[in-house]
Amino acid sequence: MKQDKHTIYQKQGFGGVSGFGQRCALILVDFVNGFVDPELLGSESIAKAAEQTVELLTFFRQRELPVAHTRVVFDVQGANHNVFTLRVPALKKLTETAFESQIVEILKPLPTELVIKKQSASAFFSTGLSDWLTFHCVDTTLIVGCTTSGCVRASVVDSMQHNYRTIVVSDCVADRAQEPHDANMFDMQQKYADVMSKQSIMERLYSLGGKLP
C-alpha cells in the first residue's frame, strides 16, 4: 500500500523545527530586475514575492536588524564566466551596470545594508556572508527571494550547513513555475529550514520585544 509522502517523512523523523535563536538577519536572494520581470528571466509569482517582501524589509529596518541582499554579477568581458553561465547563457547579461542585475527599486538597499555579488547559486558560496553574519552575532537567518528551486534552496542548504537556524519566508519566495516551488518548499521544510509566513514571523519577533538582542 502506497503511503502518503507526509506520513513517510513523519515516520522517519523528518520535519523537525529549529526555531529562532538570539539574533536574526534577513537575506534577500536575487530580487533583481532580471529575475523578477516575467518578460526577462522572472515570473508573476516572483514579482508578487518581491512586493510581499517590502513589509518584512521595513520591519527589519525599523528594528535595526541585519539585512543582506544578493545580486548575480558577471564580468562583461567574461573573465568570471563559469559552468553556471555555460548551462544558463542568459546569465551573462547580468553584468555590473546591466538593468537586469540591479536590485528592484521597491527593495533598494540602504547604504548600511550588505550587498553581495555572486556567480553561483548560494548566497554563501565564496561570498564572505557567513563572516558578516558572525560579525553581527547572527544565529538565525530569514531567507526570501528567488528562485525557490535554485538560489533560494542553495542558500538555505548552505545556511543550515553553516549551522544557522534557517527560516524560509513562505510568501516571500517564488519560482518560475509552481511545481518546482511546491516540491522544494516541502523538501526544505522536511530537512533544512522552518517555513513560516511573513505575518507569523513578524508576530513572533514582536512577541520577543520587537527586537532580538
**Rounded to an integer, what distance in angstroms lies between the CA atom of residue 92 and that of residue 82?**
10
Q: Which of the residues 24, 137, 146, 151 is marked catalytic?
A: 151
DSSP 36-67: H-TTTT--HHHHHHHHHHHHHHHHHHHTT--E
User: How large is the C-alpha radius of gyration of the chain?
Assistant: 17
Task: Report residue 50 as a C-alpha cell.
Answer: 518581491
172 tagged catalytic: no
**Rounded to an integer, what distance in angstroms lies between the CA atom of residue 162 and that of residue 213?**
21
Catalytic residues: 151
